[in-house]
Amino acid sequence: VVMCWTGTGASLAANKVRGIRAALCHDAETARGARVWNRANVLALSLRATPLPVAREILDAWFSTPYSDDEWNLRQMARIRAIEMEIGRHADESPPLLASQLD
């Protein structure tokens, strides 16, 4: 579980680590979906936007929801791994320029 003021920075940083699939969740249903459909393995929370009772619901949902072995979900994970492998091959290249950087 990672947390920061908005939860966004913590989830972005966590997702830089190979094999991590961090999901920023604001409610229990999103936490369940992240586990089932995306096999998320790191929960990110916003300290600002998550009241303690909601955080408890999210944590309960997160830790009580197993990954799905449904064929569709397994294919989704294979697609994500393929993207990760392709990106990993280009990791040493410079990132693409933004339009604002072209001038």
Q: What's the CA gap between 57 and 88, in Å, rounded? A: 35
Each domain of the chain, given as residue ranges in start order, spans 2-89
pLDDT of residue 88: 72
At 60, which helix (H) or strand (E)? helix 52-64
pLDDT of residue 102: 57
Task: Give the global pTM.
Answer: 0.80
Q: Reduced to 3 DSSP states, what percent helix, strand and coil does the chain have, rounded to the nearest 5? A: 50, 10, 40
Q: What strand order describes the sheet that includes 42-46?
A: 2-4, 42-46, 22-24
Catalytic residues: 4
Q: What is the amino acid identity at position 76?
A: Q
**Series of mean pLDDT values for 10-residue runs along the chain (103 residues):** 97 92 98 95 98 98 95 89 77 60 55
What CATH superfamily is the domain 2-89? Sugar-phosphate isomerase, RpiB/LacA/LacB (3.40.1400.10)
- 46, 34 Cβ separation under 8 angstroms: no
